[in-house]
């Protein structure tokens, strides 16, 4: 069975009540490709607003989740709390959290397990720096990030892998279609070898890194690119064009 196309919008630390209502209003009124799964990730403060305002069929993701179910962890949100609020997805392992907040592979894996155990789908981010790419270490870096998750997770059915080269996030630089497809294919080959053929065939691997309405068409045609994780463009009307990139 063909993998369902998946487009996520990561608002990062952007937005206000007014602007997020406008973004959601645009999505609610747009004709969206019915065969594409759509998820938006606003800042935590606006998760409930987004869930209450969004049309059915578009899901909401948290930008982070902690690896404990409750307790004295000031500022954190648990998978149970997300589930209780009808938030069905979480972004985990985004490069900004790995680099700025120093989240290592083991912590990312622990959070992934906690989210899955709590019934939350995971958009699991992985990717390499410019220095790592220039050193020819892209595949090693990405697969080591995934291997940390494999050590703690056995069921990959609710994981979407987002390949996001760090050097292409918010820079305007985009991996060429060939570069993106090459890494996606390598991730799928790793899944087949390390976890199993069914997981490799079923797992959606999406691309993130300055995705726009200009480059999404060519990227969406690649055999191992199953969608996009969109940053800045998800705040703009062009997000609809990216969602509909395969129409």
Gap between the Cα atoms of 202 and 61, Å rounded: 21
What's the per-residue H, E or C state across 124-142?
A: EEECCCHHHHHCCCHHHHH
What confidence tens digit (pLDDT) does each residue in 202-240 have? 999 999 988 999 999 999 999 999 999 999 999 999 999
Closest CA to 127 of 175, 153, 162, 174: 162
The string of DSSP letters for 21-57 reads HHHHHHHHHS---TTEEEEEE--GGGHHHHHHHSPTT
What confidence tens digit (pLDDT) does each residue in 50-61 have? 999 999 999 999
Closest CA to 206 of 7, 2, 11: 7
What H or E segment, with its residue span, contains residue 9?
strand 5-10
Gap between the Cα atoms of 166 and 229, Å rounded: 13
pTM over 0.95: yes
Evaluate whether 74 touches 48 at the Cβ level (below 8 Å). Answer: no
Residue 148, pLDDT score: 98
Q: Mind telling me the catalytic residues?
A: 94, 164
What confidence tens digit (pLDDT) does each residue in 111-140 have? 999 999 999 999 999 999 989 999 999 999
All structural domains of the chain: 5-27+37-243 (3.20.20.70)
Closest CA to 216 of 6, 43, 10, 25: 6
What confidence tens digit (pLDDT) does each residue in 8-65 have? 999 999 999 999 999 999 999 999 999 999 999 999 999 999 999 999 999 999 999 9
Please state, rounded to an integer, the average pLDDT across all residues of the chain.
96
């Amino acid at each position: 069975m063909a993998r369902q196309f998946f487009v996520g919008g990561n608002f990062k630390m952007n937005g206000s009540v007014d602007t997020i209502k406008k973004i959601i209003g645009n999505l609610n009124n747009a004709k969206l490709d019915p065969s594409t799964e759509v998820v938006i990730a606003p800042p935590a403060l606006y998760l409930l607003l987004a869930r209450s305002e969004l049309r059915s069929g578009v899901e909401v993701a948290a930008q982070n989740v902690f690896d404990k179910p409750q307790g004295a962890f000031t500022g954190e949100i648990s998978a149970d709390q997300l589930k209780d609020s009808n938030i069905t997805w979480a972004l985990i392992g985004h490069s900004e959290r790995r680099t700025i907040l120093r989240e290592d592979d083991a912590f990312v894996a622990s959070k992934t397990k906690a989210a899955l155990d709590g019934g939350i789908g995971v958009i699991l981010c992985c990717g390499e720096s410019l220095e790592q790419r220039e050193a020819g270490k892209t595949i090693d870096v990405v697969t080591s990030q995934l291997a940390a998750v494999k050590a703690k997770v056995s069921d990959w059915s609710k994981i979407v892998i987002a390949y996001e080269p760090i050097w292409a996030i918010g820079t305007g630089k985009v991996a060429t279609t060939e570069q993106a497809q090459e890494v996606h294919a390598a991730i799928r080959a790793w899944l087949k070898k390390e976890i199993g053929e069914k997981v490799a065939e079923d797992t959606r691997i999406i691309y993130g890194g300055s995705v726009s309405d200009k480059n999404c068409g060519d990227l969406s045609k690649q055999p191992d690119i199953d969608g996009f994780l969109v940053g800045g463009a998800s705040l703009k009307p062009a997000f609809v064009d990216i969602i509909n990139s395969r129409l």
